[in-house]
Amino acid sequence: MIEAYSGSKGRSNGARAYTETIESPAGPLTFVVNDEGALLWLKFTEGEYERTVEQELEREGLEIEPDRKPTARAGAQLREYYAGTRRTFDLPLALTGSEWQKAVWRALTSIPYGETRTYGEIAARIGCPRSARAVGKANATNRLPLVVPCHRVIGANGSLTGFAGGLHLKTRLLEHEAGIIARSANP
């Protein structure tokens, strides 16, 4: 289960953000935490984005510092996921978005490791069964892919659709999880 973060730091007025880049199943990723260690951003460096994490943070007025002490907890859990020893995260998250977006993101965290759900199934789960497209839009604004696992959401026909940074990253993450499950089923 992911614990919600409700602190006020990490959004402007000279607040600091701490970054680290590590290897992941979808290639190198950069993640960012605030002063309290709440996860702010996660981006795959091989993704197709308009701006880097650093540019996004600077736009929000955050001072960026590489420092492994504040990023240690998140870094450890992300490495465990990569190694196949972690299937869920229990990190504080600084979720930035509307109540609708947050409801979608919370629903995403209930998708079991190695499984997928459709946009329609997520919409139904949050009580809005006709809002599959709105679920897709909320997914597109998810700043914490992998931890808030939007890669586990697929089209109604089973196809891979939409993933910030490119479908190649979504494919790698799903293949990683399938591989871990297959190895644990056949030790």
Considering the candidates 42, 150, 169, 173, report the single residue annotated as catalytic: 150
Helix (H, G, I), strand (E, B) or coil at 138: helix
**Taking the CB of residue 114, how many other CB atoms lie within 10 A of it?**
16
Do residues 149 and 109 make contact, with C-beta atoms less than 8 angstroms apart?
yes
Cα 80 to Cα 75: distance, rounded to the nearest angstrom: 9
User: Tokens 């659709």 sit at which residue?
Assistant: 161
Residue 128 falls in the annotated catalytic set: no
User: Tokens 């960012």 sit at which residue?
Assistant: 32
Alpha carbons within 13 A on the beta-carbon side of 96: 17
Q: CA angle, 166 as apex, 77 and 151 as ends, to 5°?
A: 45
User: Tokens 């190198």 sit at which residue?
Assistant: 28
**Catalytic residue positions?**
150
